[in-house]
Every structure is written in C-alpha cells, then in structure tokens.
C-alpha cells in the first residue's frame, strides 16, 4: 500500500484501521470474539496497514488491550494511535464528561502503555477538548511526555480551528482527527484550511458515514437498542430517507467505475488531500479487504466532480450525534 505523511514526519499507510467497533459501539453483536478480532487486526497488517487507532474509552480499556496483544509481534512495523481525555471514576467506571488535567493525562498514558504492551505511543490525541483545562496546559503536558520518549506525536480530536492553533503553538501537532466523508463535510470551511496552513495531517474517522455510504443501509433499516446509530438523528425516519439520495449517486458512480460504494467513498476521501489518512473500521475480514481495495480504485476528475456536485446539491438532514455528544465537539 502507498504511504502518506502526517504532519512533519509520521509516515503511515494511506488507509488505516479504526478499531473501536471491535469492542462495541454498533450494538451488542458487535463485540467480536477476541481471537477473531486479533485475526482481523493481523490480516490488516498483512494487507499493508500500518496505522491502528484505538482509545482508552473504547470498551473502556479492552480495546487498547486487544490492539496491544494483536500488534505485539509486529510492534516495530506499525504505528499505534490512542487517546486520552474522558473522565473515569477511581474504579475505572466512566464518570461522564471529560478530564484533561495534567495529572490525569500522565496517569492515562501509563495505563495505555501497559495495555498496549509498548514503551511508546506513536500518536497521542486528546479525545475531546476539556474547556476546564486550558489547551496550552494539555499541549504542554503532552510535550513533556514527548520529551520523555513516552509519546512520539501529538494530536487533537474533534477540536475547533482556534483550539488547534493554540495547541500547535505550544507543541507542534502531527494530526487532527475528525469525522469527514462525502456525507459530512462541515470541517471543510474551518478546520481543514487551518490544517493545510499549519502543515498538520488529518485522520478522518467514519469515512463511510458509520456504514451509511456502504450501500447496505436503506429506508427500511432499523438499529438495535444498543446500537448508537439508533439514537443518531440522521439515521432516523425522514432524515434517513432524505439522505439516501446521496447513496443513489454513490451506487451509480460505483457501478460505472467498477468498485463497491464503500471503495468509492474511501477513494473520494483520499482524493481530497494528500495528507488525509482515513481509518474505516469493521469487524469482518471481508469488509476489511474491501476497504483496503479502495486504494487501487482510480477516479477521473469528471467522476470526482460528479460526486461533489451531487453532495453539494443534497441537503443532508439530521445531526451526526445525539445532542449530548454533539455538544462535546468543535470546542
């Protein structure tokens, strides 16, 4: 697989693997048997993936442990990104909300290093901005961890353009993680221009629109009680039906190109900037292989323009998060 460089010096595969769904998020059935999840991660390595994304809050904690076990035999060949910043009780139960106090970050990194079975974290993100702690303090704390060799690169997730500038002034950042796909492009007007100006890479999560752009969701699709998409406005009722107009265009162009809708959606992201590295997630090896196959898809300028024109003409309906989660973004 071709390589891309995030920031000044973090070279990774042009498509990474988001590991969140291996320990939940899309309903109870999404908890993949451990041996199957490890096999999937190792198959990704075989296919040339070198960037693996996890977080302490996924599980919580079990996702990092899973990724650590799967990648331990090839640790020197891959890059691991993880995240800090959600609040936990002393017993490890999520407390709700965020916490990026310096002492909390220093404690979190030690736990993450242990679970990941490594002596360094390649890319360490603040998962959500904590408005109670100045971002300069957060960046300074991560700078100390970089100086100590425990962290190699710093990033933010779902942060505003202003916060990115302030953090970057203290500790130069390598990447910013944000949702981005042809289905959700709001960061094109604020964050992406700042990343281009400052030389910071972007790691789009949900590049397949949480499954929407795979062509497997239609107006009759329902979601289980434990699948968070069931609480997400854009996946519900009239909003879902209205948004399907974009999928119709995606399906048509994919048929012309000779690829799957998911491959087309990923290749569209890859074509936006050379410093974007999408991290689609999956719990099935067949889907993993399909996603990685997107790297070989070639799109003409006319086809890219057609997709963008279609996306411009369709008014996407419904918020991408439930209200309580949406309030934690773009701060």
Residue reference for tokens 């974007």: 276
253-259 CB contacts, 8 Å cutoff, 24+ apart: 253/303, 253/306, 253/307, 254/215, 256/303, 257/297, 257/298, 257/299, 257/303, 259/293, 259/294, 259/297
Q: How far is CA 12 from CA 35, 50, 103, 216, 222, in A?
A: 25, 6, 30, 29, 36
Residue 201 lies in a domain: yes
Question: Can you give the residue range of the structural domain that contains 38?
Answer: 3-326
Q: What is the pLDDT of residues 262-304, one digit of tens each?
A: 999 999 999 999 999 999 999 999 999 999 999 999 999 999 9
Of 58, 174, 67, nearest in space to 114 by CA: 67
Catalytic residues: 58
Give the per-residue pLDDT at 25: 60
Name the burial class of residue 194, with classes exposed (0-12), middle (13-18) and buried (19+) by CB atoms within 10 angstroms of its CB. middle
Higher pLDDT, 183 or 226: 183
166: cis peptide before it, omega within 30°?
no
Give residue for tokens 């918020």. Answer: 319
DSSP letter (8 states) at residue 258: T
CA distance 68 to 161: 32
Does residue 30 have a pLDDT over 80?
A: no
Question: What pLDDT is stored for residue 26 in this prediction?
Answer: 52
* The predicted structure's pLDDT at residue 325: 86
Work out the angle at residue 282's Cα, subtended by the Cα atoms of residues 276 and 287, and round it to the nearest 5 degrees.
95
SS3 135: helix
Q: Per-residue pLDDT for 70 more than 60?
A: yes
Q: Return the percentage of the chain with pLDDT > 90, whole number.
A: 79
Is 107 among the domain residues?
A: yes
- Of 78, 55, 196, 22, the closest CA to residue 126 belongs to 55
pLDDT for 322 equals 83
The residue-averaged pLDDT of 135-142 equals 98
User: In terms of pLDDT, which residue wins out, 189 or 226?
Assistant: 189
**pTM, two decimal places:** 0.95
Structural domains of the chain, count: 1
Question: Residue 57, Cα to own-chain centre: how many angstroms?
Answer: 14
Residue 331: inside a domain: no
At residue 321 the predicted structure's pLDDT band, cuts being 50, 70 and 90, is confident
Q: Which pLDDT value is given to residue 102? A: 98
Please indicate whether residue 239 or residue 175 has the higher confidence score (pLDDT).
175
Per the CB < 8 A criterion, the answer to whether 271 and 257 are in contact is no
The predicted-structure confidence for 6-25, as pLDDT tens digits, reads as follows 999 999 999 999 999 999 76
- SS3 of residue 184 by DSSP: strand
Scanning the chain, the segments in alpha helix (DSSP H) are 34-46, 62-71, 102-115, 135-147, 161-170, 191-198, 237-257, 261-270, 285-292, 301-313, 323-326
Q: State how far the Cα of 235 lies from the Cα of 218, in Å rounded to an integer.
A: 10
Give Cβ neighbours of residue 60 (< 8 Å, ≥ 6 apart): 86, 88, 92, 94
pLDDT at position 33 is 95
Q: Is residue 282 part of a domain?
A: yes
When mean pLDDT is compared across 92-96, 256-260, 267-271, 274-278, the lowest value belongs to 92-96
Tell me the average pLDDT of the chain: 94
**Per-residue pLDDT at 204:** 98
Three-class DSSP category at 51 = strand
Residue 302 lies in a domain: yes
3-state secondary structure of 278: coil
Q: Is 49 helix (H, G, I), strand (E, B) or coil?
A: coil
CB atoms within 10 A of CB 204: 25
In a domain, 9, yes or no: yes
3-state SS, residue 53: strand
pLDDT digits (tens, 9 = 90+) for 189-211: 999 999 999 999 999 999 999 99
Interval 169-197 mean pLDDT: 97
pLDDT value at position 64?
98
The segment with the largest mean pLDDT, out of 203-212, 237-246, 299-308, is 203-212
The enclosing domain of 21 has a CATH number of 3.20.20.100
Across residues 206-226, what is the average pLDDT?
Answer: 90
48, part of any domain: yes
């Amino acid at each position: 697989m071709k390589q891309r460089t995030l920031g000044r010096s973090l070279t990774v595969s042009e498509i990474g693997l988001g590991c969140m769904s291996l320990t939940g998020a899309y309903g109870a059935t999404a908890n993949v048997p451990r041996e199957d999840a490890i096999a999937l991660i190792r198959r990704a390595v075989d296919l040339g993936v070198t960037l693996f994304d996890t977080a302490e809050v996924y599980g919580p904690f079990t996702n990092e442990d899973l990724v650590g076990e799967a990648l331990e035999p090839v640790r020197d060949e891959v890059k691991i990104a993880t995240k800090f910043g959600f609040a936990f009780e002393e017993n490890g139960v999520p407390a709700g909300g965020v916490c990026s106090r310096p002492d909390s970050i220093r404690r979190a990194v030690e736990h993450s290093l242990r679970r990941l079975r490594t002596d360094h974290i390649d890319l360490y993100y603040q998962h959500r901005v904590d408005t109670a702690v100045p971002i300069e303090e957060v960046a300074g704390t991560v700078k100390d961890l970089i100086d100590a060799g425990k962290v190699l690169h710093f990033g933010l997730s779902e942060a505003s353009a202003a916060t990115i500038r302030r953090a970057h002034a203290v500790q130069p950042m390598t990447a910013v993680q944000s949702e981005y796909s042809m289905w959700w492009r709001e960061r094109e007007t604020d964050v992406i221009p700042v990343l281009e100006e400052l030389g910071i890479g972007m790691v789009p999560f949900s590049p397949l629109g949480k499954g929407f752009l795979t062509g497997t969701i239609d107006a009759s699709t329902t979601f289980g009680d434990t699948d968070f998409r069931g609480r997400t406005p854009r996946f519900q009722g009239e909003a879902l039906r209205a948004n399907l107009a974009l999928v119709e265009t995606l399906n048509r162009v994919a048929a012309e190109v000779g690829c799957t809708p998911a491959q087309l959606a990923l290749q569209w992201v890859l074509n936006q900037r050379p410093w974007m590295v999408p991290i689609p997630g999956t719990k099935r090896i067949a889907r993993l292989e399909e996603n990685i196959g997107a790297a070989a898809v070639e799109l003409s300028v006319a086809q890219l323009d057609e997709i963008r024109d279609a996306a411009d003409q369709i008014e996407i309906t419904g918020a991408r998060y439930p209200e309580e989660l949406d309030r934690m973004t773009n701060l």
